[in-house]
Every structure is written in C-alpha cells, then in structure tokens.
Amino acid sequence: MIEDGSMSGTLRCVRGVRRLIAAVLVLCAGMSILGCQRDGRSNLLLITLDTTRADRLSCYGYSRPTSPNIDRLAEQSVLYTQAVATSSWTLPAHASLFTGKFTSSHGVRYDAQGGLVFVDPDKEKANLQRSTARGLSHDERTLAAILQEAGYSTGAVVGAPWLKRIFGLNRGFEHYDDSQIAPVSGRLASQVTPAVLEWLASREDKPWFLFVNYFDAHAPYEPPEPFKRAFLPKDWSEPDRELSREETNALYDGEIRFMDHHVGKLLDGLRAMDEFDDTLIVVTADHGEHLGEHGVYGHGRYLFEQTVRVPLLIKHPRGVRPAARSNVMVQTVDLFALLLHEAGLAIPDGIQGRVPAEASHPIIAEVYPLPDLSPHGHWRALYHDGYKFFWNSLGQHLLFNIARDPRESVNLFNRESNRAMQMAALLDLYIESLPPPGKPSEMEVDEETRELLRSLGYL
C-alpha cells in the first residue's frame, strides 16, 4: 500500500512537472510572438541613412528602383510619409535623435565660439584655431546611456566623420566603432555592415540597442561598380567636364542603391540569427540633399524640403503592430521617446520629442551656418496648417503653402503677411520656451578628424 501510494504520488508529481514545463513553453512562445525574448524586452535597431531624401526611395514612390531591400522592410513597417528632420546637417540632427531635443535645446550646432578646438598641425604655432561647432554637452543624458543603465547591450557602427566620438555622441555606447572613416568617402556600406554583424555575433545574450549609420549618399557621389552605372546610360563614360544635373542625380541614386544592398545584408543577417522578428527596427535619415533645386547642391545651409523631408520606417516586433502608411507629421526628435517607450522606460522631463502617435510639439527645423559656409544667414522653419514659414537672421523671411506648393516655388510672405507674422510669433515663443543647452564640452579635435571634415568641405 505504501509502495502503491508512493508510485501514485510520484506519477502525479511527474505529470505536474510536465504540465508546468508545457505552460512555460506556451508562455515563452507567446512572449516570442510579442517580440519579448530574454527578460521581456525587444531588441532595438536604429539605422540612419546619411543625406538620404525620402523622395528618392522606391517605397516613397520614386520611379527608379533605388531601394529594393528597404522597400521589402517597408512592407512590414509603419511608413511615415510626413517625417521632418530637425536640421539639415549631420551633427545636430543626430544629437536630436540621441537627446530628444531640438537644436536650440541640445546646443549642438555650428558655433565659432564652441567648445571644440581644432588642433593646429604646426606645432610651432602657440594659438589654436576655434572650432566651427559645439559638441554634445556633458550635461546631456543620451538615449544610449539610459538604455545601458536599464540593462541593454549598446553598440554602434558609424560611417560619417561628424559622428566620430570626439563630438560626444558615443556617450552610453559600450561599443562605438568609428574606425575606417576615410577622407572624401567616409566609411563605405560594405565596411559598415560586416562590422555590425560581427558585433551582433559577439554581444552578450541580453536585449540590445544598436545604432548604425550609413554614409554613402553623401557627396561626392562615387558608388562602386556596378552600382555606379545602375542609372546612367549604358554607353556612359567618365567625362572630362563638370557632371550634368542628370548625371549627378543618377550617381546619387546609385549611392542609395549601393547602400540599400548592404542594408539588405544586415537585415538578412538578423534573419539568419533569428533576431529579425523580435527587433524594433527604425530606418530614417539625418537630413536630405539638394540636387539642383533652388539652384543649390549639398546640405547644411538651408531648410528647404529637399534637405529636411526624410524617410521614416518603423518595423515593430512581430505581432505588435501591423504594417501601414501614416500621414501624421512627425519628426526625428520623436524617435528618442519611441525607443524608450518600446523598452518600457519612462520618458525624461525636459525633452521635446514624443512617441510619434502622441507627438504634440510644433514641427520645427533649425540650421545656423557660419558665414564661411553660407552668406545667407541662419534659418528656422515652422510647419503649421499646410504652411511652412522660414525665419531668416538677415530678414529674408519666406512663407510657402506646402500643401499646394511642395516645391516651395511661390513665396507668400508679403501676400499673406498676417499668417506669416502669426507663425513667426509662434516660432519665437516656442524656441524661447525650450530648456537652454548645457555648457559645451572643451575638447581638442585631432588632425585626422580635421582632415576628414576638410575633405568634405566642412572646414
């Protein structure tokens, strides 16, 4: 009787353990479907496509097939058709991503009296030349730092010279790879993606935040073959003259196709590691590029649509949110709040960004070029009710009906002066209400970084 009872109790115990194991397996399966592996938090991947216009990606309706891999991702994402950058050049735009603040609040900008000092290579000269920029203040708490404190592995691989660690955007990253950045070309996508996959394969087994920056669409437009000829005439040969506008556009598109190819390899690597489904993936750009519009090439001097309208795709973890297209106007400053929200973390006080669906701040952009870069002064822009107002430090204010005139060809500043004045007042009030930036960091910029920037026309 005792033996029979013991056996019966043992069987009940075994069955109970089996039921418990089955319940745990079901729970884990459910958590996986929700993108909640390991300790219940999704992985976070933020990709910036340097100098990439939204209207040059196929998923935004462009006629050339520039972005087949990003298009494939877009089919699984919420694609925002009205995304606006906070500035039109790399350093302040990325500072907004990592602080959740606009330029006037984080303070990262061109500034002849900034805290960065460019080292004079002539050792016999005692005086050092002041920088053209302010780096990120030590007072700023970055996205990566918050996520690292919350237990995430944090890694970054960058291709842009303005993202070298000397400028302060590496704060909070356990691994920050800013190597192989060459003069003129920066770091190629074919170098960035392998470094990303190497980090993913070697990281700790816990939730991760990864920042990846592709630089290829930045001038000069010299994509490797066969991408160089992807959109040029078949019989095209390198001319001994200045490139035409059509040739320049074709080469820019070729750079995007090359970059997209290696973005595809990164996404395929995530799939092979079984990490794709459970990762929040954000793809955006720091700013766009002028390609002859308004008689301008490049970026960083104005705030026309070609330089501030950027792509924004958000692929949520499997089962969380279906793919869709959204016409809600959002900004890259909002991604700070989005990523923290996805990680289940509180949004800090003092930031301007909000989760995109809840964004309620004014849509603004700012750029403050030095006279050596542009004689046309500083610019701020405000979007409101289908209009876009430009404040200019030299008094050359502009007003466009963006809804009817997306090319910004008819200045309505004098014709609709009341509206212009109202928008100017709103812009002033909002800028004045922002928390001021912290004290700029004092740092010496090494000669290598100085040469990198000079090769791209920044110094």
Interval 206-215: pLDDT, tens: 999 999 999 9
Higher-pLDDT residue of 203, 56: 56
pLDDT at 343: 95
Per-residue pLDDT averaged across 54-83, rounded?
97
d(CA 289, CA 4) in angstroms, rounded, equals 81
Residue 285 banded pLDDT, cuts 50, 70, 90: very high
pLDDT at 444: 80
Q: Domain limits at 323?
A: 38-361
**385, part of any domain:** no
In this prediction, residue 35 carries a pLDDT of 37
Beta bridge partners of 364: 382
The amino acid that residue 155 corresponds to is G
How far is the C-alpha of 112 from the C-alpha of 369, rounded, in Å? 10
Q: Among candidates 109, 131, 118, which has minimal Cα distance to 366? A: 109
Number of domains in the chain: 1
Q: Does residue 25 sit within a domain?
A: no
Q: Is residue 393 part of a domain?
A: no
| pLDDT recorded at residue 120 | 59
Q: Is residue 12 one of the residues assigned to a domain?
A: no
- Residue 12 pLDDT: 43
Least confident of 158-172, 275-289, 443-457: 443-457
Burial (CB count <10 Å: 0-12, 13-18, 19+), residue 405: middle
For residue 423, the model assigns a pLDDT of 98
Whole-number Å distance between alpha carbons of 238 and 236: 7
Task: Give the number of other CB atoms < 10 A from CB of residue 372.
Answer: 11
Tell me whether residue 398 is in a domain: no
284 backbone dihedrals φ, ψ, rounded to 5°: -150, -170
**pLDDT for position 351:** 95
What is the rounded average pLDDT of the residues 239-244?
Answer: 90
The pLDDT, as a whole number, for residue 338 is 96
Asked whether residue 191 is domain-assigned, the answer is yes
Report pLDDT digits (tens) over 6-26. 334 433 443 443 443 343 333
Write down the pLDDT at residue 240: 86
Mind listing the pLDDT tens digit for each residue in 160-197? Answer: 999 999 999 999 999 999 999 998 889 999 999 999 99
Give tens-digit pLDDT for 343-371: 999 999 999 999 987 768 999 999 999 88
Q: Would the pLDDT of 5 be above 80?
A: no
For range 68-84, the mean pLDDT: 97
Greater confidence, 43 or 26? 43
Radius of gyration for the alpha carbons in the chain, expressed in angstroms and rounded: 25
pLDDT digits (tens, 9 = 90+) for 112-128: 777 777 765 554 443 44
Residue 443 lies in a domain: no
- Are 339 and 371 in contact, with CB atoms under 8 Å apart? no
Most distant pair of Cα atoms in the chain: their distance:
102
Is the confidence at residue 130, as pLDDT, over 60? no
Residue 20 pLDDT: 38
CATH number of residue 60's parent domain? 3.40.720.10
Residue 389 pairs in a beta bridge with: 382, 399
Q: What tokens does 280 get?
A: 């929040």
Is residue 416 domain-resident? no
C-alpha span between 338 and 334 (Å, rounded) = 6
Q: Is the pLDDT of residue 85 over 50?
A: yes
Q: What is the pLDDT of residues 298-309, one digit of tens each?
A: 999 999 999 999
